[in-house]
Amino acid sequence: MRTRLPVFLAAAAASALVLTGCSGGGEAKPDATKASAECHDTKEGSVVTSVDISGDFGVTPTVDFAEPLSVEKTERTVLIKGDGEKTAPSDRVAVELTLYNGTSGATLAQTRYDNLGSQQIVIDDASGILPGIVRAIECVPAGSRVAAVISPDDGFGDVGASDGSVAATDSLLLIADVLSITPEKATGAEQAPVDGMPTVELAKDGQPTVTIPETDPSPELQIANLKLGDGEQVQAGDTVTMQYQGVNWRTGEVFDQSWGTQIASFKTVGLIPGFTAGLVGQSVGSQVLVSIPPAQGYGEAGNSQAGIEGTDTLVFVIDILATTR
């Protein structure tokens, strides 16, 4: 993956609460390999089925187990089978989950179980996610609750967690509710274009091509919906999962984009003001076209690394795929 330009100033990635370090910022298994084109064969076993787990899908589970739980190979069982599309390698999945140290019984991490606090997890060992979490949520229908006892090799390996919360020999217990598979492009209803704003054509995969009009840009911030979604509304402070493309009005050239690299997640705080304005209040599933004047972009300083001058208006096309808070 190429290094992104610092287009969003203090932009922050999505929370890694349960992805790599749990409670103390520990490291993911250092020799994790890229996900294969097919799902792994993670079987049910006597250890994972010995755990007593109750509660409805999407609700914080009640869990009882006699520690220590220990496995040499990760075991998985499907507690509630959903009726959605089956997850696959490279999918981005919204998950509610609870993670325990199988030796001590301590809770390492837990999402809020309110849909808006769920984790966006990419089913790919190379993404920095613990391999055992990938093993748990791959190849199950959306709407499923799964439990997995994760081996040390699929957890923190021979290094353990850097904060000491997980030793090198500890297995982990995970209960995960697979809420949905996050789409790779906006899915909302198409809207009429706005006169005077750039036009946007979409490839089959959703990647935009922006055409700048032969007129000067408006000195005011302009925001238009190209597609209107019906999902959750983005609030200030949310972490938004998105596809985006940035084009310089002056040159017509793309200076940064997630398309062709990977889907991005940014908090709405710490971004250039015009970009934040294009996100807050929008609904998941929407595609937003934003024309940002210099004062709400990079100001008089511009951004030399991105080829942006102090008088440049910026155009962004943003596909809002998910929001969490």
Mean pLDDT by 10 residues, the chain (325 residues): 26 29 32 55 97 98 97 98 96 96 95 90 88 96 98 92 92 98 97 95 97 97 98 96 98 96 92 97 98 97 96 98 94
Question: What pLDDT is stored for residue 29 in this prediction?
Answer: 32
Question: What pLDDT is stored for residue 30 in this prediction?
Answer: 30
Question: What pLDDT is stored for residue 37 in this prediction?
Answer: 64
**C-beta atoms surrounding 193 within 10 Å:** 13
Question: What pLDDT is stored for residue 21 in this prediction?
Answer: 33
pTM for this model (two decimals): 0.83
Rounded (5°) CA angle 172-65-22: 30
What secondary structure, in 3-state letters, does 129-188 show?
Answer: CCHHHHHHHCCCECCCEEEEEECHHHCCCCCCCCCCCCCCCCCEEEEEEEEEEECCCCCC
| Residue 223 · residue 278 · CB < 8 Å | yes
